[in-house]
Amino acid sequence: MIKKCLFPAAGYGTRFLPATKAIPKEMLPIVNKPLIQYGVEEAIEAGMDTMAIITGRGKRAIEDHFDISYELEHQIKGTSKEHLLHDIRNLVENYTFTYTRQKQMKGLGHAVLVGETLIGSEPFGVVLADDLCEGEGKGVLAQMVELFMKYRTSIVAVMEVEKSKISKYGVISGKEIEDGVFMVQDMIEKPKPEEAPSNLAVIGRYILTPDIFDILRETKPGTGGEIQLTDALKVQAQKGMVIAYKFKGKRFDCGSVEGFVEATNYFYQKFTQK
């Protein structure tokens, strides 16, 4: 079973300035819940019990969120608002949250490598919290864990993306081995539209096998001068050890204002139907 989930959360969130000047972007709420809590709940649904969070300077609100606030507990106990704390209390009491800091922003691959100390040598999940996912039937990570049981390789979640937007993503090429499941042959980070090997874009959900750490140690800076997770996955893919999975469900790009508003409207509808 996969028990640990890594949350790279050290980025600056510049696309949301000034909102993210003093607040981590992962703490921006969709309706009444911070983005990262959605990701944590998805990991728990997939059977994971340890959240390994990569933070950075200015991110302490994340640690405070997943901790007890005695003052708040004292104020709210016995009031009509107490139920609002029910879900977060459950997370704080029943799951483990571990942290380490990424001191320099050298890319997603670097962030994952910084997490090695929290993960050790076991397969693990990765959630990029600004990709907010809602799975069909079950969560996207839970769907991927199921697939991991069968293939025992790294897995990336992919979706079809219009050509004009493909340069925002890691893009795969591969051979379809069962419906919606591809054996990855090649991967490119943020290709030009004319160089994209397919329209299948990687979104922020991964299952990684721990050999990724040794590969990342050797990975040179790539696109944007950053150490790219995509480049390390490509090395695994060349050994036939990466599966791409067209997940069932929705994904909102909450790293963009447009996607954030879309997610807000969608989850508000659900919120009012409760």
What character string, x for contact with ligand G1P (CB under 6 A) and - otherwise, covers 119-138? Answer: ---------x--x-------
Residue 223 phi/psi, 5-degree rounding, is -50, 130
Contact flag: residue 112 with ligand G1P (CB under 6 A)? no
Contact flag: residue 170 with ligand G1P (CB under 6 A)? yes
Burial of 151 (0-12, 13-18, 19+ CB in 10 A): middle
For the chain, the straight-line distance linking the first and the last C-alpha, in angstroms and rounded, comes to 33
Query: Stretches 16-24, 72-80, 178-186, 201-209: which one binds ligand G1P (CB under 6 A)?
Result: 201-209
From candidates 119, 201, 215, 227, binder to ligand G1P by CB under 6 A: 201
Q: In angstroms, rounded to a whole number, what is the distance separating the alpha carbons of residues 267 and 272?
A: 9
Burial of 231 (0-12, 13-18, 19+ CB in 10 A): buried
Q: Which residue lies nearer to ligand G1P by CB, 3 or 246?
A: 246
Q: In angstroms, rounded to a whole number, what is the distance separating the alpha carbons of residues 186 and 178?
A: 18
Give the shortest CB-204-to-ligand G1P separation in angstroms. Answer: 4
Contact flag: residue 189 with ligand G1P (CB under 6 A)? yes
Q: In angstroms, rounded to a whole number, what is the distance separating the alpha carbons of residues 97 and 99?
A: 7
Contact flag: residue 113 with ligand G1P (CB under 6 A)? no
Q: Of 217-246, which residues contact ligand G1P (CB under 6 A)?
A: 228-230
Q: Which residue lies nearer to ligand G1P by CB, 8 or 34?
A: 8
User: Closest CB to ligand G1P belongs to which residue?
Assistant: 170
**What is the three-class DSSP state of 1?**
coil
Contact flag: residue 56 with ligand G1P (CB under 6 A)? no
∠ CA(160), CA(3), CA(60), 5° rounding?
A: 85
Total residues binding ligand G1P (CB under 6 A): 14
Q: In angstroms, rounded to a whole number, what is the distance separating the alpha carbons of residues 190 and 125?
A: 22
Q: Which residue lies nearer to ligand G1P by CB, 116 or 253?
A: 253
Contact flag: residue 26 with ligand G1P (CB under 6 A)? no
Q: In angstroms, rounded to a whole number, what is the distance separating the alpha carbons of residues 157 and 145?
A: 11
Contact flag: residue 169 with ligand G1P (CB under 6 A)? yes
Contact flag: residue 203 with ligand G1P (CB under 6 A)? yes
Q: In angstroms, rounded to a whole number, what is the distance separating the alpha carbons of residues 271 and 274?
A: 6
Contact flag: residue 108 with ligand G1P (CB under 6 A)? yes
Q: Note the residues at the interface with ligand G1P (CB under 6 A).
A: 108, 128, 131, 169-170, 189, 201-204, 228-230, 255
